[in-house]
Structure 1
Amino acid sequence: MSSEFLLVSGVVALSAVVQGVAGMGFALLCAPFLIQVFGPTEGVKQVVLLSLVLNVVYFGREMRGARFKDALSLLLPSLFVTPLLASWLKKFSPDALLVVAGTITIISALLLAFGLRMTRLEGRAGAIGAGVMSAAMNVAGGLAGPAVAMYAVSARWPVASIRPTLQLFGIGINTVTLLSLGSLKMHHLPWIGLILGIAGGFLLAPMISSERVRPLILGLALLGGTWIAFKGLL
């Protein structure tokens, strides 16, 4: 068993635990490693598929708290633009898109962290913007979570509703993204790390108080925005 395999499995396991606790964060932590090991195209595909598996598993745990109507309002615009973005990004450099999306996410996370409520991130217009941005970030880097998490925090969803609603949204956006990106090499997927991470997520999630979930989400969104903007600049 190679050291590279152990490292990737360990990172995937840790990322899956964070996803179970906060409702997001898997791709933020493991995408850089998977992309580095398997390349930008195959790495993103693996991140999206593994994220989809986690979405299904964790949504089944707490689906009763999901805000189905809100998830649908975020999904509709993202599902519409995902195939278009996947086709467009194959022809053009996604760098500018990544920088813009990452910068907006960083600014939103910082403003919300300092207690400023952003009304433009709420309502139908906010849902459309968050859905489109999430689709763009997912196609380019496997990061569907930060944009919709900013919408959820700004709209002041109950903490108990954030995790299952993000998982429900993830099921839709990751399914369409995976279909749009094409097939991937299944034998390279770190399934062992994923299974261990899911077990850890189920174990630790009930131990994390609701007061700690919101700052955790904001911190992960800030990390994701920084990573995606840095990737675009490079």
Structure 2
Amino acid sequence: MSGRETVLAAIRRGLGRGPLAESARRALDQRQGATDSAPLLPKLPQGPLSQVFRAGLEKVSGSMSEVAAMDAVPDAVAGYLAGRGLAPEAAVAPSLESLDWPAAGIQPTFGPTRGGDYAGVSLAWRGVAENGSLVLLSGPENPTSLNFLPDHHIVVLQGQDLVPHLEPVWAALRERGEQGWPRTVNVITGPSRTADIELTIQLGAHGPRSLHVLLVD
């Protein structure tokens, strides 16, 4: 008996299970030896990826709204800020500078924030439907400080950048060619939270207290 079999047999005894059937053993060996990760990925609920992503995002206290085109993003941001009684001001990633922010009544500052902005607007590189996570890449066009310092984080995600699982994200990063890997890859799942105080969930303890996604279809 190999060391692997010894360990697995001990686990099965601890769980009160008998020996692994030969058919189940062959299926397990086949999955572990597969070069394609698809058999190991969890199955997602039925429905469009955007619907699955929204469910995962809301489960971690995030929120989402959909807009028809990138040109509609400034108005959507203005509506979000107004709905929370915030001034029409935001620190905006330079990757979104080409949008007409003044037309929406927003006073933008482009570039990194030093912590004095109540709202930050970022552009996500990918969205993961499996758990509602966002993947953001650092760089001059997308400062990392926007992801963590403002109280309210608004993230623009294009529908074409929505993927079912996290694994394809790493594969796509490896295929960026001359662009290479960014200095930082941030995987964000919901707003900041902690349960250190009497095991009660508190939002905004170490970062944004709200996370809102604008899905551009």
Instruction: State TM-score, norm by structure 2.
Output: 0.26
Q: Which has the higher contact order (CA 8 A, sep 6+)?
A: 1
> Structure 1 length normalisation: TM-score?
0.24
